[in-house]
A and B are shown apart, each in its own frame.
Chain A
Amino acid sequence: MIFGRSERGKAPVEPVTLKILVAGGFGVGKTTLVGAVSEIKPLRTEELLSEAGRPLDNTRGVEAKHTTTVAMDFGRITLREDLVLYLFGTPGQDRFWFLWDELATGALGAVVLADTRRLEDCFAAVDYFERRSIPFVVGVNCFDGSARHPADAVRQALDLDPGTPVLMCDAREKETVKEVLIGVVEHAMALGARRRQPATT
């Protein structure tokens, strides 16, 4: 008989786990965003093309990036002892799309990280989440020196549904990343509430 554990019941806490996906084009800063809020250095489940990921990517130009995520990077945020949020960066290249369905299953929602210099890189991700009715927000990663566009211009360029939030962020800044994640959860809640209403059509 073990006495020391009685105050918390007999077993260690088994937390509820949730996941949010982080999608977007190659080199847009997905791993950086995960790293900005994760309590662990982003982990990688299957290997990459060259050297190990760094917490900060050089974002001055895509041509400077020599590695990419061929599987998934993920981070963890323990919100409470019994509530853990995982962030999964989706593979940034089209040939790894087969991994997406697995990642998307059971996801709370997603962030599509966009770079206004290469908005077309996130069309595929937007399309993917729209088709599957997975709640998502678009996070516009405002790199130093990248042109700032108003959210409405981005919304229009991506042809987003009016309800899809567009949020400005800096993937390196914890505070702005937090806001984006909160945006995802709030959006998921709003959509969930709407779905619970009886259908009107």
Chain B
Amino acid sequence: MSPDGEGTQETETHHWFDDDAGPVVRPYAMTRGRTTSAAQHRLDLIALVVAEHRSGDPGADQTLSPEHVDIVGLCRASPQSVAELAAELDLPIGVVRVLIGDLVDEELVHVTRPVPPAELPDESILRDVINGLRAL
């Protein structure tokens, strides 16, 4: 391959997708075409999703998709941010938001809101952050 990474590539036969492209399913098929979930505020990337104690065995709930079940499972181990869930499940953020919205409606998880936008966190929290960074 030439140093600029091009050249030979064009002559090779390429599939239009490969493993890196992820599953060949349109992502919003998993949300049955929904791009937003009703009555659900826009979830921040660092909002934490926490499994409810009584989430039981979500795998037994036939109304849930495997992705829903995965989310509950991950969150049960420890609270997960929306961004972490998207990365872990390899799904676009928008899809994960809709799925989380479903789970909130089903009361299988709840979401903790991060510090509201446009409001700086408490000064004592900022001091804790500085001290925490120094101690790393």
The interface size of chain B toward A, counting residues with CB under 8 Å, comes to 43
Instruction: Say yes or no: A14 contacts B115, CB within 8 Å.
Output: no
CA distance in complex: A66, B46 (Å): 29
How many A residues touch the partner, as a band? 35 or more
- Known interface pairs A108-B121, A182-B134, A192-B120; A47-B22 also in contact (CB < 8 Å): yes
With both beta carbons as reference points, the residue of chain A lying nearest to B131 in the complex is identified as A79
- Determine the chain A residues whose CB is within 8 A of the CB of B127 once the complex forms: 189
Q: Enumerate 27 A-B pairs (CB-CB under 8 Å) in ascending A order.
A: A14-B48, A14-B79, A14-B112, A15-B79, A17-B46, A17-B114, A18-B46, A37-B136, A45-B86, A45-B87, A47-B22, A51-B20, A52-B20, A66-B5, A74-B87, A76-B84, A79-B129, A79-B132, A80-B128, A83-B132, A86-B83, A88-B45, A88-B83, A102-B45, A108-B120, A108-B121, A178-B136
Chain A residues engaging chain B, CB cutoff 8 angstroms: 11-12, 14-19, 37, 43-47, 50-52, 63, 66, 72, 74, 76-77, 79-80, 83-86, 88, 102-103, 105-106, 108, 174, 178, 181-182, 185-186, 188-189, 192-193, 195
